[in-house]
Amino acid sequence: MSNTAAPSTKRSVSTTDLALIATFAALIAVLAVSTALPFGVNGVPVTLQLFGVFLAGAVLGAKRGFLTVVLYLVVGAAGLPIFAGGTSGLAPFSGPTGGYLIAFPLAALVVGFVVERARRRNTAVTAGVIIAGGIVAEALVWLVGATGISLSADTPLFTTIKSAFAYVPADLVKLVAAAVVAAAVHRAFPTLLGRSR
């Protein structure tokens, strides 16, 4: 009896993981398309998708957070118009937003790695640790994103990095919001991260 129950449990966990990954990928897509604003630096619009990226890593952990963003990117690259401003395909990866798109899975991975090590602590500490990890992830997004802008627009890298800093304050607000939401989720569902291991 025990031999037949084990595969069933494994499938159940896998199905749950896939459902969570798909749900959070859809959330990032909605945040990217519906909130894209026409202003920004060198053609990079302002969106809320980084909130979704932070939240995916913070709620799901490193592996599933990373896979969530990869799924979002693959579906967008395949032609579904879910990138900023309703764009799709491979062109956004070689345009001014390319660096940001490439950095997003890494940001979710970093935040997820940190939250997995904070999940048994109280809500305030968990949120604080997520924010600390998110600052590292934000620095990565900022630098890789600015590099993408620099390559696309053929502008000096250091100058572009300084210009791209304009996004950072708003990104930090998204990070704090994601940390608060994720900490509350983990308090309500303390075994959620356990499914990813």
**9 lies in some domain:** yes
Give the pLDDT score at 195: 53
Give the pLDDT score at 193: 82
**25 lies in some domain:** yes
Q: Show Cβ contacts of residue 63 under 8 Å, excluding neighbours closer than 6 positions.
A: 112, 196
CATH of the domain at 154: 1.10.1760.20
**66 lies in some domain:** yes
**197 lies in some domain:** no
Give the pLDDT score at 132: 93
Relative orientation angle of helices 123-153 and 49-60, to the nearest 10 degrees: 140
Give the pLDDT score at 98: 94
Full domain range(s) for residue 153: 2-189
Give the pLDDT score at 7: 47
**Mean pLDDT (10-residue bins), the chain, 197 residues:** 46 78 96 72 82 97 96 97 92 93 97 83 83 95 94 92 90 95 90 68
**150 lies in some domain:** yes
**195 lies in some domain:** no
**55 lies in some domain:** yes
How many folded domains does the chain comprise? 1
